Amino acid sequence: MSIHTTIAPLDRAAMERAKARQDQLTKPAGSLGRLEELSIKLAGITGRLDPRLKDRVVFTLAADHGVAAEGVSAYPPEVTPQMVLNFLRGGAAINVLAKAAGARVVIADLGVDADLPDRPDLRALKVRRGTASITRGPAMTLNEAQTAVEHGRRLVAGEVGRGLDVVLTGDMGIGNTTSAAAVICALTGLDPAEVVGRGTGVDDAGLERKRDAVRRALEVNASSIAKGPLETLAAVGGLEIAGLVGVILEGASRRLPVVIDGFISGAAALVSAHIAVLKELELDPLLDLSLRLGEGTGAVLSLFLLDAAVAVLNQMATFDQAGVSQREGLIIESTTE
């Protein structure tokens, strides 16, 4: 089974124009480091040196995980629906940080194991009430995974009419760092000991249970994992992870910058890259703040860097405009060029 997708290639000509302009701005070439790289990447994604970044939407997708019953999280599963209600009331970290960054928050229920209120600001896209435990078999069927991916795609498509320039990914789901770790191990071949972390903050015994759960999940689902990325997603992933795969694929196919939030979204990005047959993600984290919350908080915090990168590229004076002397003698390689 596969998902039809077309990822737009980077616009190399726009990237060259952006690089040439960066080198003419009144600063040593490369001296704004990753801010320069970011402006060039944004030009490649959007095809523009001055991409519009005004309408930014964080898609925070929620679902429950059968594996949560096995003591892999410091929090009980009922926290998933409680946090969805907190999102809807505006009291969570993602609400506060999105507001500070001028981003809209779209909350969607892809598979929360509870009856949630029927209200327009909660997208009701429940595929099923939580996954089965990945330690005993597949988390969901292939059809369920594909449905969740399609829901994610339609969420993005639906926001375009309201204005959508930047897609940000977010997640909520007690137990979802276990599923995400299983997906990452399955697709990369990395050992659970390298990939599994403390998530929301389990103790040593919980960490060992979590690693063991991932190992068992990889064993019991080995034949599904061997079949491909969508099969892997269905076998050891989660419903919000599948939804985020759709969010990422739809954003990328529309030439929108997609900002990946962290571990859960990273697992979804890895599945997307495998579906799109990209060799590698070529991503480096923009921020390293020891965040481990999810929800989209890291993605939203990085928005200021996107704004800054585009502002530098478009608003700074060139050496010619400013009458500033360039380097003496031959142009030499600088440390970051």
Question: Where on the chain is the footprint of its own copies (CB under 8 A)?
Answer: 25-35, 74-76, 78-79, 82-83, 85-86, 89, 91-93, 95-97, 99-101, 197-198, 200-203, 286-293, 297, 301, 304-305, 307-308, 311-312, 315-317, 321-328, 332-337
Active site residues: 295
Nearer to its own copies, 7 or 85 (CB): 85
CB of 250 to its own copies, least distance (A): 28
Nearer to its own copies, 36 or 144 (CB): 36
CB of 328 to its own copies, least distance (A): 5
CB of 269 to its own copies, least distance (A): 21
Q: What secondary structure, in 3-state letters, does the chain show?
A: CCCCCCCCCCCHHHHHHHHHHHCCECCCCCCCHHHHHHHHHHHHHHCCCCCCCCCEEEEEEEECCHHHHHCCCCCCCCHHHHHHHHHHHCCCHHHHHHHHHCEEEEEEEEECCCCCCCCCCEEECCCCCCCCCCCCCCCCCHHHHHHHHHHHHHHHHHHHCCCCCEEEEEEECCCHHHHHHHHHHHHHCCCHHHHCCCCCCCCHHHHHHHHHHHHHHHHHCHHHHCCCHHHHHHHHCCHHHHHHHHHHHHHHHCCCCEECCCHHHHHHHHHHHHHCCCCCCCCCCCCCCCCCCCCCHHHHHCHHHHHHHHHHHHHCCEHHHHCCCCCCCCCCCCCCC
